[in-house]
Structure 1
Amino acid sequence: MMTLDDAVIARHTVKAFEPGQTVEQDKIETLLNVLQNSPSSVNSQPWHFVVASTPEGRAAMAKAATAAFSYNEPKILNASHVIALCMRSDLDEQHLEKVLEQEQKDGRFIAEGAREGQDKSRRAYVDMHRYELRDIPQWMEKQVYLALGGLLLGSAMLGIDATPMEGFDQRALDQSLGLREKGLTSVVLVSLGFRSEKDFNAALPKSRLPRNEIFTFI
């Protein structure tokens, strides 16, 4: 059984996938569970995930990998699954109410005043990022990258090869998937599948700065 140490050493960004190889559905379900339960600041969950598991779905995403980004097209078309990690255009009233209602439904408000306290606290952070820091988009994007980290580590633990990609035409992908009409915009793509013999990165040693460069113990 693969340990966490094994997974972090074994995983790498795959440069070529073997076409026609499909990840088992139970493993995909586990990764969807990872994404759904990802942490986010004040449980804001400002994300949406589009999962392409068919040739048609992958082709729709590949429309964003043309011109300067054409090198990523095979990584999309030849993968088993491709997930577009997206963020909301804003943390609007409807979304805040939906999150609060779900927390109520899931039984998170046991103590008296807990619901009101959670709502007030979350809105205080949203207002701070909207009016004082003026960085709502960047703040939401950070939460999406928290989900990305879990997805990549989860994939490695399951023996699934993965490639995160920022190299795509965001506007083209948003248009291809009809995201902006839904109040969403794409942030990063992740292809999942099994590497092919053309994946040169698999044979290269992992390179990271030494611990004494990146850790300070106090």
Structure 2
Amino acid sequence: MNIVEISQKRYTTKHYDKSKKIPKDKLDQLLTVLKNSPSSVNSQPWHFYIIDNDAAKNKILPAITDFNRPRVTDSSHTIVFCIKTPLDEKHLANLLEQEDKDGRFPNPGLRHSQDQGRHHFVNLNSSTIESQQAWEGRQLYIALGQLLFAAAAIGIDSTAIEGYDSAKMDELLGLKSLGLKSVVLASLGYRADSDGNAHRPKSRLPEEQIFTFL
């Protein structure tokens, strides 16, 4: 399939086939996509919890809104997307060192420039705790979009889930003590035959309503 066909066929899965599991090679591909996702000034302000067994599913289930629980229990995997709270100097220094190890800086001047530029944009979006977390959350949604499209490209169904209690999720996973906060979830797996959403036509506004060419 080309990218247009993928976008036309991809949809939000409502019912999963619990008997079908994502093969390790395909899961590894999706995790690599998450790892490689773009973020503002390469801030990578994220951490991902991979839920792939019944014990882990049951652990987070109290935080999931009732109507979304089957999307966790029946899917192959659920990923909890978390931001760092706060996005601190330790993380920024770690990023810089990793970029250096990966050969991003042919000379010291570029290293300094990258560090200064990243600090500028982090500070620009950190006037309050809420503004920093909102900025980090926007980076997570870039990663979420990458994941949903990549999953569809290799024949895996998905559901983005905002219907959950974030405070409860943070408590269940002990995220506060780790300097993390959950933002959104994504379930991955294979649709059930009973998934009615698979048989409904996609509905989107027409191009003339959403595109303006200047």
| TM-score calculated relative to the size of structure 2 | 0.96
Matched, 1:51 2:50: yes
Aligned to 1:135: 131
Matched, 1:41 2:40: yes
Deviates more, 1:72-81 or 1:170-179: 170-179
SS state at 2:127 partner: helix
**Cα distance in 1 between the residues matched to 2:29 and 2:55:** 23
Q: Give matches, 1:198-217, under 5 Å.
A: 198-217=194-213
SS state at 1:103 partner: helix
Q: Give matches, 1:52-131, under 5 Å.
A: 52-65=51-64, 69-131=65-127
**Cα distance in 1 between the residues matched to 2:93 and 2:129:** 23
Deviation at 1:133, TM superposition (A): 10
Deviation at 1:131, TM superposition (A): 3.0
* Structure 1, gaps ≥5 residues long: none
Matched, 1:159 2:155: yes
Matched, 1:17 2:13: no
Deviation at 1:134, TM superposition (A): 6.8
Aligned to 1:145: 141
Number of residue pairs the alignment of both structures matches: 214
Q: Percent identity?
A: 43
Q: What do you get for the CA RMSD once the two structures are aligned?
A: 1.4
**Cα distance in 2 between the residues matched to 1:196 and 1:132:** 44
SS state at 1:130 partner: coil
| TM-score calculated relative to the size of structure 1 | 0.95
Aligned to 2:7: 8
Deviation at 1:197, TM superposition (A): 2.1
> Residues 91-148 of structure 1, C-alpha deviation per residue, up to 9 Å, x if partnerless?
1010000001000110100134111111011101111112389711110000000000
> Residues 147-200 of structure 1, C-alpha deviation per residue, up to 9 Å, x if partnerless?
000000000001101010000011111111121111001111111011112211
* Structure 2, gaps ≥5 residues long: none
**Cα distance in 2 between the residues matched to 1:109 and 1:60:** 43
